[in-house]
Amino acid sequence: MRVLVIGANACGAKTACRLKRLKPDWEVVLIDRDEEISYGACGIPYFISGDVPEETALRETSFHTVRDKAFFENAKGLVVLTKTLAQEIDRKNKVVKVKKLDTGEEETLSYDKLVIATGASPKVLPIPGKDLEGVYTISGLKAAVEIKQKIARGEVEKPLIIGAGFIGLEMTEAFSDLWGLPVTLLEYFPQVMPRILPLELAKIVENHLRERGVELILNARIKEILGKDGKVCGVKMEDGKVYEADLVLMATGIKPNSELAKKAGLLVSPLTGGIVVNERMQTSDPDIYAGGDCVEVRHLITGKKVLMPMGSLANRQGRVIANNLAGEFDTFPGTVGAFILKCFDLAIGGCGLTPEVAKFEGFSDVGHALNNQSERSHFYPGAEYAFYSLTYEKTTGRVLGFHAVGPFTDGTLARVHAISSILPFKPTVKDLIQLELAYAPPFNSALDPIHDTAHVAENQMEGRYKVLALEEFLKILESGDAEWMFVDVRHPKESEHLVKKYANYISIRYEEFRGRVNELPKNKKIVLLCSTSRRSYEIARFLSSKGFEHVFVLNGGLNYYRKWGLEF
């Protein structure tokens, strides 16, 4: 058998190597238009930042051998054609027309089976100035090396990044943290990581960026990229404001490289632009497989087809393709979109849907539980607070998503892993409560944050208290509506400035509440406030037993406002 694999990065390289292990006597040909192959593209921001000192480190194995053409030929037994562009697939005759980019020579390669792993390309905004010198996308190692060299030569003083998604945030840190450059970050939407992170957690990230000196502009409307003598010098907004810049990085998403497949008559989605494959990663031609960033996959929460450009998924898909080619039956069922990233001192992670996306996707009666607590036992030295969000269906209790923002430790990753591993099986809030999770004070609390976040959701579902959303709380408080009374159950010294500022804001300490309940009027809407909402919830239950009908608890607690950087 002769198998051609077009694309020699995550999915393609994994497919070729796995297949050669399963079928050592088969001829496996790996084709790529670049000379540098099989590199860790997700590590590019860390190469630019200097955390990864050399670009060759992104192409090394765990035993520090560079994965180049010679490595794949000598160590893996593959035939490797680098600097070779696959131009056309002739499915009838089962050949691929290729062009040698260094010589211009063209030839045809026959195949018994074919794998398309052509990846994706960065989106380029269709605005004036996009072709100026100094305007970049992270399109590969060459662009990354060029950017780092410019910074090292002192040619970059005012970098500007367009897009506050994964790449945008990672590159913001890369420019700012090691190189000390003042970064301007422009985001079209009203929050960072739109559709990826719940708003309440996104605000924590936004405040952290500003604390680290980043000029973050949300709801940014870009008119053009300005240039002088052919080089970028700034970005002009629709309102006329100009942000100076000597380097502009577009991090506005990706588009799948599916043109080759489309030209060959393979089924390509008109909605996502990705190559259509089944669970075995077969295209509409049973002799052609495809995987990685160029294909669409099923989202296991919505059931819809989506693009999910992640190296982790591409590697898994490569193994599935190789297994099926070798005669084993294997499937890739889909994704829940699990992710993790570092942003300065924060770990940001999640899986599934945010509340906003769940509503948009048509889930009815979406619930949203917020929790904040220390990652480790509160008494353990160095325990820091993390913030959690759980999205669920109120009617069924089905968990739709879980997201977290915490200190740069493994705590966020561990909890995302726990949820993402069971999310495909449609767990309920009750299932999360019953999860058996390992415990020791240096690692977590006896009731893990997953448990406590699920407890919040369960209490909401059972109607044990009424929830007041964070944004709604601010509006009511600032309105001065006399129908409402705000009762802070923290220590009086923590709330004295609020008591002075707002006429309908009072302080009754948690430990004193049962003896002072008669001070509260039953004809008012009462909002109970504390740092995490735990004390507030307990008092709400007590007031309910005393005949108070309009009692609310602030979703998540006042610690969220501290992390938002708000003073009110």
- CATH number of the domain at 484, please: 3.40.250.10
Distances (CA, A) of 463 to 337, 367, 459, 541: 30, 12, 6, 11
Domain of residue 155, CATH code: 3.50.50.60
Q: Of 14, 488, 39, 405, whose CA–CA distance to 203 is shortest?
A: 405
Cβ neighbors of 472 (< 8 A, separation 6 or more) are: none
Between the two ends of the chain, the Cα-to-Cα distance in Å is 70
Together in a domain, 114 and 144: no
Would the pLDDT of 38 be above 90? no
Count other C-beta atoms under 10 Å from residue 345's C-beta.
14
The answer to whether position 433 is within a domain reads yes
In a domain, 73, yes or no: yes
At residue 568, the pLDDT reads 60
Q: Which of 409, 435, 461 is the last residue of a domain?
A: 461
- The parent domain of residue 485 ranges over 466-564
If we measure between CA atoms, which residue out of 412, 450, 420, 410 comes closest to residue 434? 450
The mean of the pLDDT values for the chain is: 95
Angstrom distances, CA of residue 128 to CA of 131, 197, 223: 8, 31, 8
pLDDT value at position 42? 84
Cβ–Cβ < 8 Å for 37, 68:
yes
Q: What is the pLDDT at residue 287?
A: 98
In angstroms, what CA-CA distances link 512 with 389, 390, 494, 502, 550?
31, 32, 15, 22, 21
Residues 344 and 438 in one domain: yes
**Model pLDDT for residues 61-89, shown as the tens digit of each residue:** 888 888 999 999 999 999 999 999 999 99
Task: Assign residue 7 a region (left: φ > 0; alpha: ψ between -120 and 50; beta: otherwise).
Answer: left
Q: Domain for residue 185, yes or no?
A: yes
157 and 88 in a common domain: no
Q: How many domains does the chain have?
A: 4
Active site residues: 42
Note whether 260 and 212 are same-domain residues: no
Write down which residue in 303, 325, 347 finishes a domain.
Answer: 325
Please state, in angstroms and as integers, the Cα–Cα distance from residue 116 to each residue in 119, 176, 481, 521, 559, following that order: 9, 37, 62, 69, 49
Question: CA 109, CA 29: separation in Å to the nearest integer?
Answer: 10
Closest to 37 measured CA to CA, from 3, 83, 78, 77: 83
Do 268 and 370 fall into the same domain?
no
Residue 334 maps to a domain: no
Q: Please name the amino acid found at residue 402.
A: F
- Checking if the pLDDT of 50 tops 90, the result is no
User: Has residue 499 been placed in a domain?
Assistant: yes
Q: Are residues 38 and 93 in the same domain?
A: yes
Task: For residue range 244-291, list pLDDT tens digits in order.
Answer: 999 999 999 999 999 999 999 999 999 999 999 999 999 999 999 999
Task: Identify whether residues 509 and 473 lie together within a single domain.
Answer: yes
Tell me, yes or no, whether 93 and 205 share the same domain: no
Cross-strand partners of 295? 275
Whether residue 511 sits in one domain with residue 477: yes
Please name the amino acid found at residue 544: S
Asked if residue 129 belongs to a domain, the reply is no
Predicted local confidence at residue 43, as pLDDT: 84
478: number of Cβ within 10 Å: 10
Length of the chain: 568
- Please, which pLDDT band fits residue 492 given cuts at 50, 70 and 90? very high
With pLDDT > 90 as the criterion, what percentage of the chain qualifies? 90
CA proximity to 8, closest of 93, 82, 114, 102 = 82
Residues 174 and 267 in one domain: no
Q: Is residue 331 part of a domain?
A: no
- Separation of alpha carbons 245 and 157, rounded Å: 8
- The candidate with the shortest Cα–Cα distance to 484, out of 525, 531, 430, is 525
For the segment 484-488, the average pLDDT, to the nearest whole number, is: 96
Answer with the one of 430, 461, 492 that is the final residue of a domain.
461
pLDDT at 172: 96
* Residues 180, 243 within the same domain: yes
* Residue at 245 is within a domain: yes
Q: What percent of the chain has pLDDT over 70?
A: 100
8 Å CB contact between 191 and 197: yes
Reported as a single tens digit per residue, the pLDDT across 439-463 is: 999 999 999 999 999 999 999 999 9
CA gap 225, 186 in Å, rounded: 13
Is the pLDDT at 350 greater than 70, yes or no? yes
The packing angle between helices 166-173 and 199-211, to 10°, is 20
Say whether both 34 and 81 belong to one domain.
Answer: yes
Residue 178 pLDDT level (bands cut at 50, 70, 90): confident
